[in-house]
Every structure is written in structure tokens, then in C-alpha cells.
Structure 1
Amino acid sequence: MKRTQKTNTREGLLDAAEAVVIEQGVGAMTLEAVAARAGISKGGLLYHFPSKDAVVRGMVSRIASIVRERFAADLANEPPGQGRHARALLHMLLDTEGSLAPRLQRVAGPLLGAASNNPKMLEPIQNFFQGVHQGMLNDGFPADRSWLVLAALDGLKYWKIFGILHPSEQDLAGLRLLLTRIIDEASL
């Protein structure tokens, strides 16, 4: 019972931190602001997260967990064999109708900025992508194609997160077709 309550409190605090980041930016995400948004004392927040870095690490870990769960669901829908991990990643990162993209877009940019001061905070995301890459290789997908797919999808992801470029739906559909063809040709 206590573990569930503690988990719920941690999730509520991460929700509050996410709301502060979205509404006011990562610079405004102080321990005081998160505690106030969550409706608890700063001491209550410190019990769960002893520093601002711990809050950011918690937020990054939660994002990585959400991404892992979504990827696992997409992977389960793919038939075994070459290209399985690549197709699942393609589907996950180019899914414009799912709930994953908008949430990540709102929070990921500010968090990446905050984590740039301490790259160890990005380990959960790094571990996810290293696992996906290794999964591609384990599927028998060629290494050069796996790097190409990862680089293309990461580029698109960061364009969205940081608002760098805005490919049209038609452009994205064309990219999806091209990447699918690259994956399928490598899997023959």
C-alpha cells in the first residue's frame, strides 16, 4: 500500500514538474515551483527528489519508460525477422496520430536543454536507442541501414522537438515510404 502511495506521489510530482516546464519553461522549474504546483511542501518534494537534477532525471526516466512501452507495443505487432525493430521504430516515431508525439514534443526540448549540463541524465534515452540499434543488428538488419534509419528518424524527431523544420504531411508520407522501402529491401 505504501509503495503504491509513494509511486503515486512521485508521479504526481513529475506531473507537476512537467506542467511547470510546459507552462513556464525549464528555467522556472525550481523545487519551490514544483512543490507549489503539486500542492505539497518543499520538504515533501525533497523526500522524493533531493534536487532539481533528481527531478529532471525522474522526468527523463519517465519519458524513456513511456517510449519503451510504446516501442514494445509496436514491436509486438511486427512479424519476426530482419527489419522488425526498424519498422517498429519507424512506426513509433512517425506516428502523428498517437499521444506520444505531442507530449514528448512539449517536454523533451526543455528537458534536453536541462540535461545538456549533465549528460548522464540522458542515459535512459541513450540506453533505449542503443537497445533498439542492437535489436536491429540482432534481427540481422545490416549495420549501415540501421544507422541510416536511426539517423533519419532522430533528425525528424529533433526537428519536431526543437521546431527546426516542419515537413508537410505529404513530405512525411514520402519519407515513410522511402524508409519502408529501405527497410524492406534490406530484409529480403
Structure 2
Amino acid sequence: MAAPRKDNVKELILDTAEKLLTASALADISLAEIARTAGISKGTLYYHYKNKDEILLDLTDRYLSRQWQDLIDWTGDATKDTSINRLVKYVLERDVSTAGLRLHFFYDAMLGNEQIRQRLLDWYTRFSSLIAEKVGERTDVIPSGYLTWLLLLLSDGLFIHKTIGNTGIDTAAFIQETSEYVRRLMASGSASPLL
């Protein structure tokens, strides 16, 4: 039997770490536990990753790369309604539904992990540019930069409230109402409030 390819071992390590992060904080997971759970030796793990920060950086990139590609694929699908209100709904729903792992990135960044903080900021810059481009393709009623950051801030707030179990807000209903508000706003042709 052939030895696993280098890329396959890295993916196995990342898959294992991601699985462990569903139940524990990164600080509570050792490299030895990751290796054991992945079914590889500690030496093999250390060959690919010297510390947990390196694993977290790769997880950050893998996670956000998937979201990036999903957004490009969704907005480019001519068979779907990707109008501005649907784009708003997609961005909010997608960010809220995949929040679990992202919370670990925020947590580490807030605790002073400068590499993760910078990586998140880099991804925010990329996402804000991409979303602004997609918004601009769909409307000029609302400034694309403003709506983009409004969406990013809303999604972060919604995923935090969903994660902490805030029963005072129904995130699904809030997202639906936001999408409907944007639809009505577009139908009016003006960014003035609809009352």
C-alpha cells in the first residue's frame, strides 16, 4: 500500500482539527490529540505543522476560500435568481449557517493572535471588494460599499447571537425581513426609508 500523499495528510490533519474544534476550544486541543485522532504519528503531524497556529491559519484559509468560491459560484449561476435582495439573503444566511468554525478565528484574533487577526482582515478586505462588485452589478440605488459593510457587520452580529443562543432574535426571520426590505427598496427605486 502506498504512503498517503503529502496533500492528503495535510487535509487529514485539517479535517481532524476542524472536527475537534466542534467540541473544544483550540487551547484545549493538543497536537498529540490531533495526531492520535487523525491516526498519524506526532512526527508526521510536526512534519506538516509545527504548532496549532499554523493549523489554524490553514483552517482559516480553507474555510474562507470555500465561502469565497461558493459566493462566486452562486452569483455566477444564471439559472438562479441572484437579484440584490437574494444576494443579501444569501450572504447573511451563508455566514450565519457556517459560523461555528469562524468563531474560533475571532476568538484567537481577539486574544492577540496577530497572524490570525491579520489573516481575517485580509479576507475581510477581499470579501468586501467581491461583495461590493456583486452589489454594484445588481443596483446603484444603495452605495455598494455601504451595503457590503452593512451585510458583513450584520452577518457577524447575527452569527454571534445565534452562537450564544439569544432567543430574543429569530435570525432566520430577521434575514428574511432584511431581504424583503431590500426588495421593497429596490422596487421603490430610492434609498429613502420605506415606512
Give TM-score, length-normalised by structure 2.
Answer: 0.72
Contact 1:13 1:35 in 2 (8 A): yes
1:57/1:187 CA distance change after superposition, 3 Å:
farther
1:28 aligned partner: 28
Say if 1:137 and 1:69 are closer, same or farther in 2 by CA, change over 3 A.
closer
Between 1:160-169 and 1:66-75, the stretch displaced more is 160-169
Residue matched to 2:5: 5
Alignment gaps of 5+ in structure 1? none
Alpha-carbon separation, structure 2, partners of 1:124 and 1:171: 28
1:45 aligns with 2:48: no
Does 2:89 match 1:90?
yes
Letter in 1 for 2:159: K
Q: Secondary structure at the residue paired with 1:77? A: coil
Tell me the distance in 2 between the aligned counterparts of 1:137 and 1:106: 26
2:177 maps to what in 1?
174
Between the aligned partners of 2:88 and 2:37, the Cα distance in structure 1 is: 35
Which position in structure 2 is the counterpart of 1:56? 56
Matched, 1:114 2:112: no
RMSD between aligned alpha carbons? Answer: 3.3
Say whether the 8 Å CA contact 1:90–1:153 is kept in structure 2.
no
Deviates further, 115-124 or 60-69 = 115-124
Of structures 1 and 2, the larger Rg is shown by 2
| Conservation of the 8 A alpha-carbon contact between 2:84 and 2:183 | no
The question of whether the paired residues in 1 share the 8 Å contact of 2:92 and 2:175 is answered with: no
Q: Hey, what's the Cα distance between the residues in 2 that align with 1:44 and 1:166?
A: 46
2: CA distance, partners of 1:20 / 1:90? 30
- Which residue of the partner structure matches residue 145 of structure 1? 147
Quick one: which amino acid aligns to residue 17 of structure 2?
A
**Bigger CA drift: 162-171 or 117-126?**
162-171
**How many pairs align?**
178
- Structure 1 residues 166 and 14, CA, compared in 2 at 3 Å: closer, same or farther? farther
Task: Say which SS state the counterpart of residue 23 (structure 1) adopts.
Answer: coil
TM-score normalised per structure 1: 0.74
Q: Which has the higher helix share?
A: 1
Report percent identity of matched pairs.
Answer: 22
Q: Tell me: CA distance 1:184–1:153, structure 2 relative to 1, closer, same or farther (3 Å).
A: farther
Relative distance call for 1:43 and 1:89 in structure 2 (3 A) is farther
Do the aligned partners of 1:78 and 1:88 also contact (CA within 8 Å) in 2?
Answer: no
CA gap 1:90/1:152 in 2 versus in 1, 3 angstroms: same
- Kept after mapping to 2: 8 A contact 1:20/1:28: no
Q: Deviations over 1:72-121 (max 9, x none)?
A: 12111369xxx9677435314325xxxx855x333221232123322124
Q: 2:161 is matched with which residue?
A: 159
